[in-house]
Structure 1
Amino acid sequence: MNPILFAVILVVIIAIICSVMLVIASTVMAVKEDPMFPAIRECLPGANCGACGYAGCDGYAKALASGEEKRTNLCVPGGAGCAVQVAGVLGVEAGSVEERVAVVCCGGTCEKTQARMNYEGVHSCAAAKLLFGGAGACAFGCLGNGDCVSVCPQQAIRIEKGVAVVDRDACIGCGLCEKACPNHVIGIFPKKQKVFDRCSNYNRGKAVMDVCKAGCIGCTKCSKVCPEGAITMDHCLAQVNPMKCTGCGTCVENCPTGCMSFTEKL
């Protein structure tokens, strides 16, 4: 027999045998998918942000389908509508979803602080952070290079006056910006919270004012004047309890540096 023809026939026979083996293996070793999984996964928005505590939407859907997870209200981006749909698939009662939103805890705009060096590297907050903590005078402030902007699935963040600003109406509270910020100036807060300490500098007094005129100096005045007792101090920074805060603005009016501010104010 012609050696070339023999080689071709041999390869074809091997291919057929391998194909049969693969078909048998795929049938015998196939992992059966829970029929509930695709129905639940369809209800989730697909942000894969991890805000639910699982590795993306697939992880959360699998946990719900298997019964490992009972809570149908963990998807913050999907909101109440998503919780109702998931509960409908599972045949259970939907839990309430607390709306959350990203807040930039830094008021150090170009008018309030200054650069301590001229950074000419990669336009990235993570890269700038590696170079002596960034170009800004305040090592705790917003680096302003937009890593948060690039990861936001809703285009809800922009850089304004050197500081990230969040569009509260567009933000879905997924938390991707919080994870991307190397200085941790972005936090995910209850949407009902109206007042924030727009500072992340854990120093106090002159050390803060030397680098930013909008920083929190830890004077505790806001906590003393709050009529609801909604403000406590944590490492010289004010922490607002959204369950107690009524948004009266007393703390905002009495803050000597203006770091206590309403969410709409930069």
Structure 2
Amino acid sequence: MNETVLFAVLSLSAIGVASAVILYFVAQKFKVIEDPRIDVVNEILPGANCGGCGLAGCRAFAEELVKTGDLSKLNCPVGGSDTMKQIASVLGLEAEEKEPMIAVVRCNGSRINAPQKVIFDGAESCAFAHALSAGESGCPNGCLGLGDCVVSCKFDAIYISPETGLPVVSDEKCVACGACVTACPRKIIELRKKGKKDRRIFVSCVNTEKGGPAKKNCSVACIGCGKCVKECPYDAITMQNNLAYIDYDKCRLCRKCAPVCPTGAILETNFPLRKEKPGEPGTEKVAEPVTAG
């Protein structure tokens, strides 16, 4: 009996030692030596793990930066230019200065502009409503206002306005991570350049219906008339599928397009009020009432 127990113990010990030796050599052969710069870069990153860089998180972004050694196609929207410059100094590279971006809501179909025609009674989710209906206003491309974009934002930079029922983006909080862009099933949210002095001009409509149906559902819809295209001196506006689009790289913020839009679909953000010119619509003087003395 004792010999049997001793033999079993020795056999198990021998198997254990042999397994340990095999595992050691396997570990040495397949050992991955990680570049210490990855930890340094990861410490510089904001740690938001928002996916705005196009990768799974900050750690994956740091690994990709060190692996490729190229900053031209990689950018952290949360950290911005300052963060990328710090990373560049660690990696011995140069960081290209990139203009800050911001999320822009390209829909102005508020409760006044796009009145409710039906009532949606279902899950409070834009993705769910988009799969089942055209929306309460009847516009098949307009904002559904159920807040999938709000839920997706990790920075509290977007909320649904109780007055208009549309998303509102905070200029101060938005980091252009793109989470709201991905979350919106109607693709009405776009990342655009913030612009000089935070000024932007864009077509606040994504409806591709023809003029009549589009105007029927929303009074400020783009009707594809093409007047803005003809007016732009910089070829920054194109027309496709009955919808105008302003290229922010070509746009010089001259503001010539907005006044000619018959529906007011082109929005101007953070500009000073226009100076009224005699003869323009809406500038006629109204006679003041005369008070008998």
Q: Same fold (TM over 0.5)?
A: yes
User: C-alpha offsets along residues 116-148 of structure 1, whole Å, 9 cap, x if unaligned?
Assistant: 321221111111112224333111001101110
CA shift at 1:90, angstroms? Answer: 0.3
Once the two structures are superposed, the pairs formed by residues 153-164 of structure 1 within 5 Å of their partners are 153-160=154-161, 161-164=164-167
Q: Work out which of the residue numbers 213, 226, 231 in structure 1 matches 2:237.
A: 231
Q: Which runs of 4+ in 1 moved over 6 A?
A: 19-23, 25-28
**CA 1:119–1:84: 2 relative to 1, 3 Å:** same
1:65 aligned onto 2:71: no
Structure 1 partner of 2:276 = none
**CA 1:63–1:259: 2 relative to 1, 3 Å:** same
Structure 2 partner of 1:80 = 81
Structure 2 partner of 1:5 = none
Q: Which amino acid in structure 1 is aligned with residue 58 of structure 2?
A: C
CA shift at 1:27, angstroms? Answer: 6.9
Structure 1 partner of 2:287 = none
1:47 aligned onto 2:53: no
CA shift at 1:66, angstroms? Answer: 1.9
TM-score, with length taken from structure 2? 0.77
Structure 2 partner of 1:6 = none
Q: Work out which of the residue numbers 261, 264, 269 in structure 2 matches 1:258.
A: 264
Unaligned runs of 5+ in 2: 2-8, 272-293
- Identity among equivalent pairs (%): 39
Once the two structures are superposed, the pairs formed by residues 138-153 of structure 1 within 5 Å of their partners are 138-153=139-154
| SS in structure 1 at match of 2:54 | coil
CA shift at 1:157, angstroms? Answer: 0.7
Query: Which stretch has the larger CA shift, 98-107 or 134-143?
Result: 134-143
Structure 1 partner of 2:282 = none
Structure 1 partner of 2:131 = 130
User: C-alpha offsets along residues 175-212 of structure 1, whole Å, 9 cap, x if unaligned?
Assistant: 00000001111111111161000001011211101111
Q: Which amino acid in structure 1 is aligned with residue 259 of structure 2?
A: E
**CA 1:28–1:216: 2 relative to 1, 3 Å:** same
CA shift at 1:26, angstroms? Answer: 6.5
Contact kept? 2:50, 2:154, Cα under 8 Å: no
1:167 aligned onto 2:173: no
Unaligned runs of 5+ in 1: 2-8
Structure 1 partner of 2:190 = 187
Q: Distance in 2 between matches of 1:22 and 1:79?
A: 48
Query: Which stretch has the larger CA shift, 115-124 or 32-41?
Result: 115-124
**CA 1:32–1:217: 2 relative to 1, 3 Å:** same
CA shift at 1:158, angstroms? Answer: 1.1
**CA RMSD between the two structures:** 3.1
User: C-alpha offsets along residues 16-38 of structure 1, whole Å, 9 cap, x if unaligned?
Assistant: 98x97899576775432211111
CA shift at 1:240, angstroms? Answer: 1.4
| SS in structure 2 at match of 1:189 | strand
Structure 2 partner of 1:111 = 112
Q: Which amino acid in structure 2 is aligned with residue 176 of structure 1?
A: A
